[in-house]
Structure 1
């Protein structure tokens, strides 16, 4: 552990709970924790780092990324459509180390890696990536790993549906997430948890960028959804569901799913159900602008043109209704490192900048059940970033991260 005492000076710091920007910031870091904010006197012998006119914030959080795809060999967005059969687990993991560093340098110090959608032979690559980061072997955000996304045959998260592969080209096991019927979905959940998954990701409706799936169609039966949630919750693990369609979202809420990813086609009644049940929403809304579908198949482009405008309006209504909304990008559907664009999208859809910052900090911390981060306060982890200007007035400055500290270690200081 780093036992050095560091003092950060800056023009201001943001209390993301209240949305207030305090001028003249001094934060004392001892080891990997925040020791004090604006203390009356500084500790003797501390290293003082003057960040000038920057504003200090807690490290941001992205609740939906996939670090194992996209990245350095395809920096503009989605990976080569044949990556599912061309890339082996070693190459994927090496790519993920680059994507992890890119994400950390963008100011995101915690992420959920929300479901491997690739063949790995049963290895949970995101769990191992998180372990390597935790042990300091490589730089990256803290990872809440889902292991393999759990999907029915032909579901949106069935990896063969993204490439439209012929039969038997990429056989997948229950351990790798393809599971049908109550006994298999229970087995798949148990496998992911056995090998380190801290959240379960499931495919509850069709998707936009998968062939042969109707975006709004419910994919798992009510009985299968209940079994998945029961299995996860008994182990103390939360469940996140990919769900665009209204029927699938309602079935997930009834089953006790903790978080809906996308939620694009939810009706007002379903939004009210989310508020009543305390179900979180991770809207991944910047996909509407940031996902490059120009090279996608015509059928997929058509789905995007139909779903994305409705998704933007759904989010506006969800914000107005008071749904608990956390920040998530679905990177690499938008390029790794562009994660802060999601905060712009949240503001564009109706949040204040302060509310968007809260979605990427306090609410995201609540979603993953942690109390040691997401704010600047004594005793919390020293995950601290700095940006120019006032992000409570202009959310776009969050895209220009100049300083990143995670766990008391400085990873970026430009």
Structure 2
């Protein structure tokens, strides 16, 4: 009996690597099918494997890119300083977008959970606005909060003094002689709904008496040039409670985000619209306006914000320009991926040019009855 010689084994051809350009072209081809769809997050469709990042969704969506900024919340005895501590944490929670690239993590299944602990230093410099106040005109002292690379800085400089105070948050893991013992932050998140996708999270630092909690849900829409992402109906923001401050609670709501650069082949994240941080216990509120684009359509990543006294029973201020000067405690501005500067008190009028619109029409506005302004 004869047998045919075995055929030679087929040569294994390695899979052709998918570069970033081919990934984006595939992604864009899929998105074109969903132009006009109200919510991409509610539509079930599969992405090619080369478009996914090998990171679980629950692990990716954390807000502790700078855990040492989180444990610093509630340190100051002054309500304004504590609001600034909350804003400092807020500006560090999205450092993944400033330092890394956007990605699509794995979808979570119902009941899936993720938990972890951070061991972090309590090395964030203390914020003390009383030291920043000087006898000079209101708004002359300024400080900065730098968001990039978790290197937050603040400095005060008056017109009559060249001294400066640096408030910097060293990068997490940086050794420091003054940091003291490490603090533990515990984080737990679970997928509580699969359709629509909703996850619940709880963060706590028992030594400092700080907890953060909330629900994460997003809605997404393809506009033709970018993907606009908004918080879903179950996403009311982040709720931070300070046990050692009589359970003082802050609510931080999310602005809109845009995933752009689809046609250029370089994905980027920009933020627009408003974020609100409110504390009914101290009656202090912050409005952060994210300016999406500049004059030529180039992303600026700029924030224009205000911290002011408000009435929790009559919370009707939704824009920065709606806040009267007498209620302003501090103003903020600057690119959130780099450095945000804040100044105490209202914006000084002496710094405005003579033909600035607000000055040109101020007298007419004061003497013109409100009921006649629309005539």
Sort the TM-score into its range (normalised by shorter chain).
under 0.3
TM-score, length of structure 2 as denominator length: 0.26
When Rg is computed on C-alpha atoms for both structures, the one with the higher figure is 2
Q: RCO greater where, 1 or 2, for CA within 8 Å and sep 6 or more?
A: 1
- Whichever structure has more strand as a proportion of its residues is 2
